[in-house]
């Protein structure tokens, strides 16, 4: 029945086409109205060019646009492109050569040629180069590294005209929602600007050194591979952080990026420039950052392995592991400092990092079946280690 119902309509259409009736579309010519304009083109000939769109006058830009442009013009000369090279060996050809092995961003710290970037940008590099705003490329050497804060300081011998130090915020009263500008070299595309806002403050994120970086700035400004080490700026063009990492399953920006706060940079960078390393605070005791013994015994806390004689910890009465004829006897297990609970090395490092040398902290330890509290002075550790 459905098939038979369609046949009369088909015959009607065919009949209409043959007779030139109004249903015969394409057969009847339509005359243009007097006011109509008809544009025709022959095959192979381009159609008429549309009229150009008049640009906005400079005064028509929004205040926010003018601010973003001003920040970029002021800070782009301070932003650099850091490239590391590693040695690749071709065993079949019997040759070894340096090849690019990664890149990131950085910024000029001072007129002496110091460049600040991320530790993970330069980690494992055989050689490093820094490319400036005018595309001039110079060799760089490592001055010092702080893996626990993901900070590295490089140095270049450059003409003074290239060394435009970044403006560092003296005081930072950051607020969620305020505008931020990121400049970097994502995917090797030099001096790329992205904007956003501060999404959150006080984030704690595990860094390249295996411990948490505190007080990280979270932003939705697009940060991609290659942005690492670049500056995060406020609307005055002052440094408020260093872009460090993103939270993304795909490896590209997902609107959640993190930056090392400028307060940390201001504290660490001068130390590295002065001594070649960052100042590390601790209690002057022997511990294992990998916590192999704690994991083996299922302990929550930090085992004190050794206490050097005449150290502040020894004077406070802290005890380490002792060797007896029956084996090893545990001494103190640190489970708290002041009001903070200590379960891992990361906890211990984070709490002590917030102090200053000669501060006295209350260390809670488990000793056998007893729990006691000791007053221990915080000291600057020597490069050989300890904590």
Domains of the chain: 74-162 (2.40.10.10), 179-275 (2.40.10.10), 281-380 (2.30.42.10)
The pLDDT, as a whole number, for residue 75 is 95
pLDDT class of 35 with cuts at 50, 70, 90: very low
SS3 content of the chain, % helix, strand, coil (to 5): 20, 35, 45
pLDDT (tens digit per residue) in 166-181: 999 877 789 999 999 9
The pLDDT, as a whole number, for residue 165 is 97
Residue that the structure tokens 């090849």 belong to:
99
pLDDT class of 46 with cuts at 50, 70, 90: low
> Stretch 279-299: mean pLDDT, rounded?
91
Which residue did the predictor score with more confidence, 329 or 208? Answer: 329
Rounded CA gap, 141 and 153, in Å?
9
pLDDT at 162 over 80: yes
| DSSP string computed for 65-99 | HHHHHHHHHHHGGGEEEEEEEEEEEETTTTEEEEE
pLDDT (tens digit per residue) in 105-116: 999 999 999 999
pLDDT class of 287 with cuts at 50, 70, 90: very high
Name the nearest CA neighbour of 139 among 150, 153, 155: 155
Helices (H), the chain: 2-19, 63-75, 119-122, 262-275, 292-297, 312-315, 345-353
Which residue did the predictor score with more confidence, 254 or 288? Answer: 288
Which residue did the predictor score with more confidence, 74 or 59? Answer: 74
Residue that the structure tokens 């001003």 belong to:
70
> Stretch 110-136: mean pLDDT, rounded?
92
The pLDDT, as a whole number, for residue 20 is 42
In this structure, how many other beta carbons lie within 10 angstroms of the beta carbon of residue 187?
11
pLDDT at 205 over 50: yes
The pLDDT, as a whole number, for residue 169 is 83
DSSP state of 165: P
Which of the residues are catalytic?
120, 150, 228
The pLDDT, as a whole number, for residue 63 is 87
> Stretch 8-32: mean pLDDT, rounded?
39
DSSP state of 276: S
Mean pLDDT of the residues in the chain: 82
Percent of the chain with pLDDT over 70: 78
């Amino acid at each position: 029945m459905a098939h038979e119902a369609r046949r009369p309509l088909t015959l009607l259409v065919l009949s209409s086409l043959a007779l030139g009736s109004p249903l015969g579309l394409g057969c009847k010519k339509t005359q243009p109205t007097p006011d109509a304009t008809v544009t025709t083109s022959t095959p192979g000939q381009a159609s008429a060019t549309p009229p150009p769109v008049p640009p906005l006058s400079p005064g028509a830009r929004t205040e926010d646009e003018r601010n973003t442009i001003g920040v970029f013009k002021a800070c782009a000369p301070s932003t650099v492109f850091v490239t590391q090279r590693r040695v690749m060996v071709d065993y079949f050809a019997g040759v070894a050569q340096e090849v690019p092995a990664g890149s990131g961003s950085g910024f000029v710290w001072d007129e002496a040629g110091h460049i600040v970037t991320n530790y993970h940008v330069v980690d494992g590099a055989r050689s490093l180069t820094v490319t400036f705003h005018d595309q001039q490329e110079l060799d760089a050497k490592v001055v010092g590294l702080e893996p626990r804060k993901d900070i590295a300081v490089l140095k270049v011998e450059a003409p003074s005209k290239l060394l435009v130090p970044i403006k560092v915020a003296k005081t930072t009263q950051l607020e969620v929602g305020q505008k931020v500008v990121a400049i970097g070299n994502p995917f090797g595309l030099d001096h790329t600007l992205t904007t956003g806002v501060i999404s959150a403050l006080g984030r704690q994120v595990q860094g390249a050194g295996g411990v948490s970086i505190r007080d990280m700035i979270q932003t939705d400004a697009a940060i991609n591979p290659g942005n690492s080490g670049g500056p995060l700026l406020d609307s005055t063009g002052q440094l408020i952080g260093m872009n460090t990492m993103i939270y993304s399953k795909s490896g590209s920006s997902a609107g959640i990026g993190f930056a090392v706060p400028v307060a940390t940079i201001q504290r660490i960078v001068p130390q590295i420039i002065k001594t070649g390393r960052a100042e590390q605070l601790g209690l002057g005791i022997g511990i294992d950052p990998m916590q192999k013994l704690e994991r083996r015994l299922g302990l929550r806390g930090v085992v004190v392995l050794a206490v050097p004689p005449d150290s502040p910890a020894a004077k406070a009465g802290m005890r380490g592991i002792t060797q007896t004829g029956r084996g090893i006897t545990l001494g103190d297990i640190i489970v708290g400092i002041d009001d903070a609970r200590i379960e891992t090395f990361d906890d211990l490092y984070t709490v002590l990092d917030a102090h200053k040398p000669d501060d006295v902290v209350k260390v809670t330890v488990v000793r056998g079946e007893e729990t006691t509290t000791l007053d221990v002075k915080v000291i600057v550790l020597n490069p050989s280690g300890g904590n």
